[in-house]
Structure formats: structure tokens, C-alpha cells
Amino acid sequence: MIAVNYRVIYGDTDCGGVMYYGTYLRLFEIGRTEFLRAKGLSYREIEEKRGIILPVVEVWAKYRASAKYDDLLTIKTYLKEAKSYKITFFYEIYRSEELLAEGETSHVAISKEGKILRIPKDILDLLSL
Amino acid sequence: MIAVNYRVIYGDTDCGGVMYYGTYLRLFEIGRTEFLRAKGLSYREIEEKRGIILPVVEVWAKYRASAKYDDLLTIKTYLKEAKSYKITFFYEIYRSEELLAEGETSHVAISKEGKILRIPKDILDLLSL
Amino acid sequence: MIAVNYRVIYGDTDCGGVMYYGTYLRLFEIGRTEFLRAKGLSYREIEEKRGIILPVVEVWAKYRASAKYDDLLTIKTYLKEAKSYKITFFYEIYRSEELLAEGETSHVAISKEGKILRIPKDILDLLSL
Amino acid sequence: MIAVNYRVIYGDTDCGGVMYYGTYLRLFEIGRTEFLRAKGLSYREIEEKRGIILPVVEVWAKYRASAKYDDLLTIKTYLKEAKSYKITFFYEIYRSEELLAEGETSHVAISKEGKILRIPKDILDLLSL
């Protein structure tokens, strides 16, 4: 599990007074990017140097309590599954000890031309460390 | 089912060259707002006049193909379930005849003070028309 | 002048209860894209077929009154200047007869490799029609 | 001057391959919030405890070079002017030593009912430290 902090800005919230439900998907993105970086993998390098894109094919999120403006949140990212055809991350969004939301994203690997690829073994190995 | 069109702007896309995965949740919001309006319900009025908020408690989305800049999309919104404690909408995002994504949002009713409410029968009746 | 309507969604607003100040730049983008389309120019085609990008090099906006959730706004876009090295658009955001905001964006032309280009005369001619 | 770092995410970029021009206004917001915090002022507390809102009445930005996905940027925020009726911040966005963009926002003080207020002297004094 990799944890990163995130400070909620005005632009993340909506007129309901809380963080917009779509903003959580930005936080999930921050979480998985830093998860990869912590494992020695740069998503930018995977794309630029190896020509592999890992698009999201499925997402879900459950919202348990609201994040508010200026809250300091913690994004916890877990590897749920790393197979040759699919990677799944699991996320929890906390404010101190309170779980505000959780979710999952699943990713496949494609080439820049859109062809589905096997996820390289060295990436799967690093993710699972 | 209620259908509304949406034109993808630069601000909706990401450097992968396609619509950002979080942007779809904005489109789901547009879809359900116009679904309510077509049934004679204004979400703004439900909030302002009746003091009822219908926050999203759960969302999922499956991404089948990419939406691109300047695509003219169609957001189709369906009522999946309307019970006294939960409403669920189902969404499909099309470009012409091609299904790009689908998803669901579930909503409960709360007061402005955050107390869970039964969803009023007249709202459930109008939604189910 | 080209006018297009825009309905404010929850995702456009912030916890101050009004449209986020950054969202206006999305509306400016919608305005200039539809201005181009009304003149027979597709920005997507200018990029894809002619390899010309028209990035924003400068923007300003003045905020006079707040746009709120579910407001139906009108984006009015004007061509202020079309020279071979720079195009400037001017925007007004109205709610009915009330001017909420105004702004400007200036654009240069560059190739996909980032080289500054003269803006082609046929584009300048169409814009000025 | 107060400097804070910002990592560009996919959701900040657009299909032109660079950070969307509207995203810079989010970075300006991060900059001025952390400027206030560094001076011992919490914008959230100014709103909640004192009932003073500091809306943006004017913004401009100049874009000199593009920020790209995963770039680690530095947001530098300066107080340009602090008068009883208006505060102006100036911003610079850097990638290492390279200035990518600069901008300004001007703010007035209003009550929650929308009445224009004098900006309290203690806030002006702290800002100018």
C-alpha cells in the first residue's frame, strides 16, 4: 500500500459544499501514479519509452462521507490484481481515521495503435513487490 | 430513456488523446439532470424548495471505446430502480451507433443537515412515468 | 458575433455556491469553437488536416456577477483581431440580459513540431466574414 | 514569495498533449491558498469564522511554454497589492528554471450576503509581512 496526501481545493468542490463525485477519479489517478513511482515505475516512461498505454477499462467508487474544502486527505492505493491481461488497483480516501470513499480501477495494456498487449512480466513483477 | 447530445471539448480530454475517464461522470450528471427535467422535475428546485439533496453513494463505469475531441456524443439515461431509500440511474454514452461507455449511479435522499430521508412518493411516481 | 447556450452543471460549480472561476475558460473554449464552426471552420480539421495548432498565449477575464447551478447561460463570442501572427477573441457570458463575465483569448499558430507559423490567409478571411 | 510544488496529472492535460489552459487557474488557487497559510491565514477560517469571502474579480495569464504530463512544477505566489478594497496576487509557474506561465488574480471582500466589505486591517497586515 502506498499513501499520498491531497489538499482539497475550491476547484475540486461543488455547490453542494463538498468534493464533486467526479473529482475522486482524479485522486485515484494520483494514487496509482504514485504507487507505480514507489515501485520504481514511471507511468510517463512506460508510455514514452515502451509505447505501452494502460487505459482504465472499469471503475467503481462508493462514497461514505463527504470531503470538504481544505480537508487534508490521504489516498491509499493497493494492488488488487496483476495478471498478464489486467491490472486492478483498489483505493481508499481517508480524512484522518475516517474512510470517506473507496474504489477500484482496472486497466489493460494497449499499444499506441490501440492493439491489446500482454502486460510485460517485469512490470507485473515490480508491481507485486 | 432520455437522450441528450454532448460535444467533447479540449478541456474534457487528456494527453492520451481521448476523453479523460473522470469526464464521463460529468456526462452522467448531465444525463440524469435532463432525465429529471424531462419528467417535470428540476433538481435545483428539489434542493431549493424541498430541501432534499440526492447525493451519489455509488458509481461504476465501463469504458469500451474512446471518445475523442469534437465528437458529438449521445448520453442515454435510464431509470433502473426507484425505491423509497435509493434511486439508481443507468447511462450509455454513444457516438452514432457505437457504445463507448456505460455506467450507473445510485442516490439516497438527505436533508440539508445530512439526515437520511425517505424519497418522497411524488418524486418516485414522476420518475417512473 | 456567435451565441451559444450553456447549462451550468454541479461539476462546474464550487463550494462558494457559484461557477468556479476556472470554468469560464471552458466556456470561452466552447464559444470560440462554435464561432469557428459557424464560419465553416472546424478546429479539429485545422489540426488534423492542416497540422496547425492555435494555442492560447494570453487570457483575461473579468467577473461581474456569479453564475449559479442550473443557470442557462449564453456565451457570445466576437472576433476582436485577426492578423497573420495573432488572433484574438472576445467573450461575454450572459444570464438573460445580465452580463456575468467577459474575457479575451489570444492565439498564435504553431506546427505540430512547435514552430511558429503565419496564420493562413484563407482562415483569416473566413474568420472575418 | 511562497513556492509550492505541483505534479501534473493526466486529468490536468488535454489532447494537445499539454496542460489545459484552464488548469493554470487551479494552480493559481493552490498558490494563493498556500501563500495565505504561510502568513498564518487559513482561507477556510476567513470564510467560516469571519464570514468574509474573497472572490476573484479579475484574472489574466500569459502562457510562454507548455507544461506536460508528470512535470513537477513550482508555483510561485507574490502579493502585488493589498488595499482595503482589493488584493492582487501575482503568480509564476516554473518547470525547474523555465518560466512556463505567469498571471494575476484580483480579489474583493464580500459578506455571505454579497455585500462589499473593507478588507480587515489585520488580514492586510498579515499578508504584507
What does the pLDDT look like over B58-107, one tens digit per residue? 999 999 999 999 999 999 999 999 999 999 999 999 999 999 999 999 99
Cell of B77: 439515461
Distance CA A27, CA A56 (A): 14
How far is residue A59's CA from residue A104's CA, in Å, rounded to a whole number? 6
Classify burial at D10, counting beta carbons within 10 Å of its beta carbon; exposed 0-12, middle 13-18, buried 19 or more.
Answer: buried
- pLDDT average, residue stretch A33-62: 96
- Could you give the strand order of the β-sheet that contains C116-117, starting from the edge strand earlier in sequence? C52-53, C109-111, C116-117
Average pLDDT of the segment spanning A107-119: 94
* Whether pLDDT at A118 is above 90: yes
pLDDT band at A3 (very low <50, low <70, confident <90, very high): very high
User: What integer best gives the mean pLDDT of chain C?
Assistant: 96
pLDDT higher than 90, residue A88 = yes
CB contact under 8 A, B25 and C11: yes
Mutate to test the interface with B, among D9, D14, D23, D24 (most CBs of B within 10 A): D14
Nearest to C20 by CA among C7, C8, C28: C8
CB-closest option in B7, B30, B70 to C9 = B30
Q: Which of C21, C25, C62 sits opposite D21 (nearest CB)?
A: C25
Given the C-alpha cell 495494456, which residue does it identify? A109
Mean pLDDT of D82-90: 97
Sheet containing B109-111: which strands, arranged edge to edge? B52-53, B109-111, B116-117
Tell me, what's the pLDDT at A18? 97
If DSSP codes are grouped into helix, strand and coil, which group holds residue A46? helix
Alpha carbon distance B18, D14 (integer Å): 8
pLDDT given at position D41: 95
For residue A103, the distance in angstroms to the closest alpha carbon of chain C comes to 20
Cβ of B62 and A57 within 8 Å? yes
Given a contact cutoff of 8 angstroms between Cβ atoms, the answer to whether D71 and D93 are in contact is no
Percent of chain C with pLDDT over 70: 100
Neighbours of chain B (3+ CB pairs under 8 A): A, C, D
Contacts of B18 in chain D (CB under 8 A): 15
Going across the sheet that includes A52-53, the strands are A52-53, A109-111, A116-117
Shortest CB distance from C70 goes to which of B25, B26, B44? B44
The residue whose grid cell reads 455571505 is D112
Report the number of distinct structural domains present in chain A: 1
CB spacing of D10 vs B20 below 8 angstroms: yes
The phi, psi pair for C19, rounded to 5°, reads -65, 130
Task: Tally the residues of chain D.
Answer: 129
Burial B29-59 (b: 16+ CB within 10 A, else e): bbbbbbbbbeeebebbebbeeeebbbbbbbb
Test A30 with D44 for CB contact under 8 angstroms. no
Nearest Cα residue to B60 out of C12, A23, D11, A103? A103
Q: Confidence band (pLDDT; 50, 70, 90) for D129? A: confident
CA C22 to CA C26: how far, in whole Å? Answer: 7
Residue ranges making up the domain that contains C78: 2-127
The string of pLDDT tens digits covering residues B1-52 is: 999 999 999 999 999 999 999 999 999 999 999 999 999 999 999 999 999 9
Q: In chain B, what residues touch D11 (CB-CB under 8 Å)? A: 14, 20, 22
Q: Which pTM does this prediction carry?
A: 0.98
Q: Give the per-residue pLDDT at B14.
A: 97
Distance CA C21, CA D36 (A): 19
Q: How far is CA D73 from CA A27, C126, D4, D64, D81, in A?
A: 18, 39, 8, 14, 25
- A83: distance to nearest CA of chain D, Å? 24
Average pLDDT (C106-113) is: 95
What confidence score (pLDDT) does residue C20 get? 98
Nearest to C77 by CA among C90, C87, C94: C90
Residues belonging to chain A with any Cβ–Cβ distance to chain D shorter than 8 Å: 7, 9-11, 25-26, 29-30, 33, 42-44, 69-70
For residue A48, what is the nearest residue in chain B, using CA coordinates? B16
**Chain D partners within 8 Å of A10 (Cβ):** 29
Measured CA to CA, the distance from residue B31 to residue B4 in angstroms comes to: 7
- What's the rounded Cα separation, in Å, for the pair C46 and B5? 23
8 Å CB contact of C16 and D59: no
Mutation pick from A9, A15, A24, A63 vs chain C, by most beta carbons of C within 10 Å, is A15
Q: Look at phi and psi of residue B105 and say left if phi exceeds 0, alpha if psi is from -120 to 50, else beta.
A: beta
The confidence band for B129, taking pLDDT boundaries of 50, 70 and 90, is confident
SS3 A102: strand
Torsional sign, CA A30, A36, A38, A42 = negative
Å between D66 CA and nearest CA of chain C: 10
d(CA B61, CA B91): 9
Number of other CB atoms surrounding residue D106 within 10 Å = 18
Confidence at A129, pLDDT banded by 50, 70, 90: confident
CA dihedral sign, ordered A35, A41, A42, A46: negative
Beta-carbon separation of C15 and A11 below 8 A: no
Task: Please state at what angle helix B23-38 crosses helix B43-50, rounded to 10 degrees.
Answer: 70
Say whether A93 sits in a helix, a strand or coil: strand
pLDDT at A74: 98
Which phi and psi angles does D50 have, rounded to 5°? -110, -10
Closest residue on chain C to B12 (Cα)? C26
**CATH number of the structural domain spanning residue B103:** 3.10.129.10
pLDDT tens-digit map of D25-55 = 999 999 999 999 999 999 999 999 999 999 9
φ and ψ of C29, to 5 deg: -60, -45
d(CA C97, CA C72): 12
What integer pLDDT is reported at residue B9 of this predicted model? 98
Distance of residue C53 Cα from the nearest chain A Cα, in angstroms: 21
pLDDT for residue C74 = 98
Stronger pLDDT, A112 or C2, i.e. the higher one: C2
